Amino acid sequence: MSEGLLRCLVLEDEWPARNYLVELIQGSKLAEVVAAVSTVEEAQEALAPASKLEVDVAFVDVQLSRNQGNRAGLELVRSLAVGHREVLLVLATAFETHALEAYQLGVSDYLLKPFSEERVVQCLGRLRARRAPGPALPPRIVARRRKNLVFLSPEEIWAFEAADRLTFVHTRHGRFDLDLSLTAIEHSLGELVVRVHRNWLVTVEHVKELERETADTTLFVGEGLGEGALGVHVPVSRDRAQLVKDLLLEHSTGLRRG
């Protein structure tokens, strides 16, 4: 195995989707695929101690072919969550309906089909951050204020925005220019940030309000609430709205879920 790469197992019964996900994982240069299988039985065999196959991450499709059962993938995840706590779990599926249940089982991420290079890289970057040894501090962000350099700690940052081929960082001190892409920022900050829109990352700890006054979803990210609060309103893309909501609720308490 190449040093530092995550070792991945892919369970997907549709070979075009399986091959494409394998291609994206391998192409990320963050991980390698050590097993790509089409059935739960093959996945269980690969993960069994007798196989001596070392797996860090299992990418599991929820709804496999009919002869395996509609929830076969989810049942495998349930069993792995209990018996293979050293293996990180990612659901890779066309269905959003299992997201909350998946996170309750301890799934690390949730990839929706059709898979994208950007989303797979984001996922693997976060998983590598979780596997990194020691309590390394996240790096400071270096931004530009005219000709000056500004050094920002992650806890000072509300959000990152890509616009007009530029990248900006929003903070309580103002908005500054960055030389990094949003994808590079995701790699650096890992779970401290979440992609809510093609052009936006937000720091989870600074999300103060989820706004649903229309069919669109918006986050208020900053300090305080109501009139006079400091912050920025961030759009959430429709294909990410439910996942973002589930992620925020997963790390919160006080709301009845039905």
pLDDT in the model for residue 155: 86
Torsion of CA 61, 62, 65, 67, to 10 degrees: 130
Which one is predicted more confidently, 10 or 249?
Answer: 10
Give CA–CA dist 172/77, Å, rounded: 41
**Domains of the chain with bracketed CATH:** 6-131 (3.40.50.2300), 141-250 (2.40.50.1020)
For the chain, first and last CA: distance in Å?
Answer: 44
Average pLDDT over residues 151-158: 90
pLDDT in the model for residue 212: 81
Q: Is the pLDDT of residue 7 over 90?
A: yes
pLDDT band at 104 (very low <50, low <70, confident <90, very high): low
pLDDT in the model for residue 20: 95
Average pLDDT over residues 21-42: 92
Q: Is the pLDDT of residue 1 over 50?
A: no
Residue pair 10/41 in contact by the 8 Å Cβ criterion: no
Question: The sheet that has 217-223: what strands, in order across it?
Answer: 207-211, 217-223, 230-236
Residue 152 structure tokens: 């920002």
Q: Nearest to residue 205, comparing CAs of 134, 146, 156?
A: 156
Mean pLDDT of the chain: 82
Selection from 22-26, 76-80, 246-250 with the highest mean pLDDT: 22-26
- Give tens-digit pLDDT for 202-247: 998 899 999 887 778 999 999 988 888 899 999 999 888 888 888 8
Give CA–CA dist 63/58, Å, rounded: 15
pLDDT in the model for residue 57: 93
Q: Is the pLDDT of residue 249 over 70?
A: yes
Give CA–CA dist 69/110, Å, rounded: 20
Average pLDDT over residues 165-194: 87
Task: State the maximum Cα–Cα separation within the chain, in Å, rounded to a whole number.
Answer: 64
Contacts of 110 (CB under 8 A, 6+ apart): 90, 91, 93, 99, 102, 103, 243
Give CA–CA dist 17/15, Å, rounded: 5
Question: The sheet that has 88-93: what strands, in order across it?
Answer: 31-37, 6-11, 57-60, 88-93, 109-112
- Give tens-digit pLDDT for 69-103: 555 666 777 777 655 557 888 888 776 665 556 66
Amino acid of residue 72: A
In percent, how much of the chain has pLDDT > 90?
31
